[in-house]
Amino acid sequence: MAKAAKTAKKDKKPYRLIKKRSGRYAIMQRGKYVHGEDKVKILVAEGLIKLPRPKAKAE
């Protein structure tokens, strides 16, 4: 058999994205779920969600 061509290793991410049946995402990091602002930062970086712009204050 022919040897498989070597490919460059991709950098593994320190977390795992899981899409739930509800359509929302869960993030596991080292066996624990990530919550709050850390989760939002990861989802924005992956392009899975967009943050709403803050509304202009009426004066």
pLDDT confidence bin for 56, thresholds 50/70/90: confident
Query: What is the pLDDT, as a whole number, of residue 58?
Result: 75
User: What's the pLDDT tens digit per position in 4-42?
Assistant: 555 556 667 889 999 999 999 999 999 999 999 999 999
Task: Quickly count: other Cβ atoms within 10 Å of residue 42's Cβ.
Answer: 19
Domain assignments of the chain as residue spans, ordered by start: 16-46
- pTM of the shown model: 0.67
The tokens describing 58, both together, are 């009426």
CA distance 15 to 22: 20
Q: Which helix (H) or strand (E) holds 26?
A: strand 25-29
* Whole-number Cα distances in Å, 11 to 17, 37, 49, 55: 15, 24, 23, 38
pLDDT at site 45: 92
Are the C-beta atoms of residues 39 and 27 closer than 8 Å to each other?
yes
pLDDT value of position 19? 92
